[in-house]
Structure 1
Amino acid sequence: MAPAVAGTDYWGVMIRVPQFPRGTELKKRQGALTSIWELTLSERQNASKLLESSTATPFLYCRYYFKCFYCGEQYSEIKTVLQHTVTHTTPESSIILKEYLPKGKRTVKVDISSLKCRICDKKLKDLDEARKHLTSEHDKVFTESGNGIVAYDLTSKNGQFNCHICNKVFQTFILLNRHMNVHFSNAVCETCGAGFMTHQRLMQHKEIHLPGGYPCNKCSKVYTTNSNLKFHIEKAHEGSTKMRMLRCPHCPERFVEHFKKLKHLREAHGITFSFECEATTRCLKQVYGN
């Protein structure tokens, strides 16, 4: 194996670059086993076969709301978008690959809480077991690449979600989704050492280390990240939060901000949550926001 030297890519991410002697004839590069910028063709092929032959339910997460993987309809709650998605007839893998997993697709998120084989109805534990089952029992052919899918068990217990890998409990999908970086740290921030599943998430995170702010051109407010500025513009100036209201799981009340939902749960329903700080492992009774 050729020796490697450490360096950084365009975005400042640490990489290792192999060094070959001059005149070395390089073999044509094979498809990557894993991808952090976008899914490779072989990953997209594997993902399309798993979506076609299993009950893994795909969805799109847009930070403040959810979208149906097949028709793009928007929902404020993960539960309702999943209920809607299963009403669609699952297309064949060739159609999924062409229309729903085009080149440039970064990740595919799926719910595996009711994972079964569509062919024989056998219950399956996870996507790896589904892949082995489809290969051995139904002669499905997968490439050597990864599944191209990020899986979540979105069974809700008292409005909370469990990580199916380590069983930690999270009060919202937002927190569960952020936690998944712990298990799939493909890209690491060189400033603070935080790990992320994809470069896209790393780029969003690196905004917090940049100097200066993001001023709103419609009012005098300034925000620390571009993402927060976009949310402010939608909320305060464009009025497009109707589909993105957070719903109380115990009554009809809805909220624009997550903190107000937590406050309502505590005051109206007597429900409080504890949060573990990943830096100090301290258990906090409540997390407050501005």
Structure 2
Amino acid sequence: MSNAKHNAKMIVRCTTAYPFKLPERFMVCVYCCDSFDDPPRFRHHMSEYHPEVKLRIAFAHIPEGYIKIDCTDLRCRICFAQLNKLEVAVDHLIKEHDQTIDLSCDLGVQPFILPDEKWACALCESKFISLRALSRHTQSHFPKFTCEACGKSYFSVSSLRFHKQVSHIGDQRICVKCKKTFETLEEKRKHVLESPRCWAFVCKFCGERFVSSTLRNAHRTQVHGMQSKEYVCPECPEVFPDRQKYRIHFITTHTNDYFSCTCGKKFDSKSNLKKHMVVHTKEKLFPCTVCSKAFSRKKNLVQHMWIHSEHKRFECVDCNKQFNQKVTWKSHMKSYHPGVAIN
């Protein structure tokens, strides 16, 4: 076992640095594979349901790489002292409890400090829109041997080589909950859909499992009366009804990672800047294959194509007249049936 891995195990065993996986957007418990989109809920889950550290299970998913740890509420498991930083915790374990941690090599951990949903780097304090974006950035502080495909870092070139051989294809066919391996991704998807015990999203009120966070959140609202989530900006008073609007606001207002146009507008991605540029270039790159019209945006072409379709999607409930575009249906309703509510 490498000294770095030994150091990581000592930190996890002797402190409340909670290890987690981050395969996608959500924190995943290393013991039971439950998923969490809220760091405080993850920490409560770890202290309530996994108070005993099981190193073999915790490190099973990462044989020779850095393990991610939540250091937000860091305490010593031996004397229960409050420890405000990872460096303080390491010094405490060595001096107060005579634990063996080799300071001549890496600690073997990637620390995260996650109060509520403020995604700031624990090492340089850079701010990010999401935990996933923060995780990608954190990898840059550990430039040992990094996989160019996913950004994971390893202690040795042999470990990186092994990771490349088994990841990105094979791991996608393994159910993270029951560990079954499938021949194809389609077989795995079918298994997950038909196996409620393998659903990763759990209702915190009643314990019912769901196949997606969308279904779980709808259940919380409909069954338990929980209000739909609002996205509150951690840097200003702005509140947003959906994640996408929050993401655009945060990147263009509170970071330097935006893409700007010469007209002064800011965008959260290069692709959105490119879409905007047609306002200035007046290019119409999407021609209709039926008539001579062309459009600057693909969505406008798709909408236009319904004019040439025989299928009428919208019908007036009063006079049974049919329309293939919503805008013409609305215009008809306002002109001929102004008293009828339009949904």
The aligned counterpart of 1:263 is 244
Q: Distance in 1 between matches of 2:141 and 2:151?
A: 9
The aligned counterpart of 2:43 is 82
The runs of 5 or more residues in structure 1 that have no matched partner are 1-39, 208-229, 255-259
The runs of 5 or more residues in structure 2 that have no matched partner are 155-159, 169-184, 202-209, 218-225, 231-240, 273-343
* Backbone CA RMSD of aligned residues: 4.5
Matching of residue 277 in structure 1 with residue 237 in structure 2: no
Q: Contact 1:46/1:148 (CA < 8 Å) preserved in 2?
A: yes
The aligned counterpart of 1:154 is 114
Q: Contact 2:28/2:35 (CA < 8 Å) preserved in 1?
A: yes
Q: 1:171 aligns with which of 121, 126, 129?
A: 129
Q: Distance in 2 between matches of 1:87 and 1:189?
A: 35
The aligned counterpart of 2:29 is 68
Please identify which structure carries the higher helix content.
Answer: 2
**1:174 CA drift (Å):** 0.8
Q: Contact 2:251/2:257 (CA < 8 Å) preserved in 1?
A: no
Q: 1:197 aligns with which of 135, 141, 153?
A: 153
> Normalised by the size of structure 1, how large is the TM-score?
0.55
**1:111 CA drift (Å):** 0.8
Q: 1:121 aligns with which of 68, 80, 83?
A: 80
Mark the CA change 1:195 to 1:76 in structure 2 (over 3 Å): closer, same or farther.
closer
Q: Distance in 2 between matches of 1:111 and 1:234?
A: 30
Q: Contact 2:120/2:134 (CA < 8 Å) preserved in 1?
A: yes
Matching of residue 131 in structure 1 with residue 90 in structure 2: yes
> Normalised by the size of structure 2, how large is the TM-score?
0.47
Report SS of the residue matched to 1:87.
Answer: helix
Output aligned runs, 1:177-192, within 5 Å.
177-187=135-145
Number of residue pairs the alignment of both structures matches: 208
Q: Contact 2:258/2:269 (CA < 8 Å) preserved in 1?
A: no
The aligned counterpart of 1:97 is 55
Q: Larger Cα Rg: Structure 1 or Structure 2?
A: 2
Mark the CA change 1:70 to 1:288 in structure 2 (over 3 Å): closer, same or farther.
same
The aligned counterpart of 1:55 is 16
The aligned counterpart of 1:33 is none
Q: Distance in 2 between matches of 1:186 and 1:278?
A: 29
Q: Distance in 2 between matches of 1:48 and 1:77?
A: 25
Matching of residue 106 in structure 1 with residue 65 in structure 2: yes
Mark the CA change 1:289 to 1:88 in structure 2 (over 3 Å): closer, same or farther.
farther
| Greater length-normalized contact order (CA 8 Å, ≥ 6 residues apart) | 1
Q: Distance in 1 between matches of 2:100 and 2:146?
A: 33
Q: 1:286 aligns with which of 252, 260, 268?
A: 268
Report SS of the residue matched to 1:114.
Answer: coil
Mark the CA change 1:89 to 1:186 in structure 2 (over 3 Å): closer, same or farther.
same
CA deviation digits over 1:87-132, x for unaligned, max 9? 134436xxx3334324825332111111122233333233232111
Q: Distance in 2 between matches of 1:78 and 1:45?
A: 26
Output aligned runs, 1:215-254, within 5 Å.
242-245=210-213, 252-253=228-229
Mark the CA change 1:72 to 1:289 in structure 2 (over 3 Å): closer, same or farther.
farther
Report SS of the residue matched to 1:180.
Answer: helix
Mark the CA change 1:89 to 1:286 in structure 2 (over 3 Å): closer, same or farther.
closer
Q: Contact 2:31/2:57 (CA < 8 Å) preserved in 1?
A: no
Q: Contact 2:83/2:89 (CA < 8 Å) preserved in 1?
A: yes
Q: Distance in 2 between matches of 1:278 and 1:149?
A: 30
CA deviation digits over 1:66-101, x for unaligned, max 9? 321222223344443332112134436xxx333432
Identity of aligned residues (%): 21
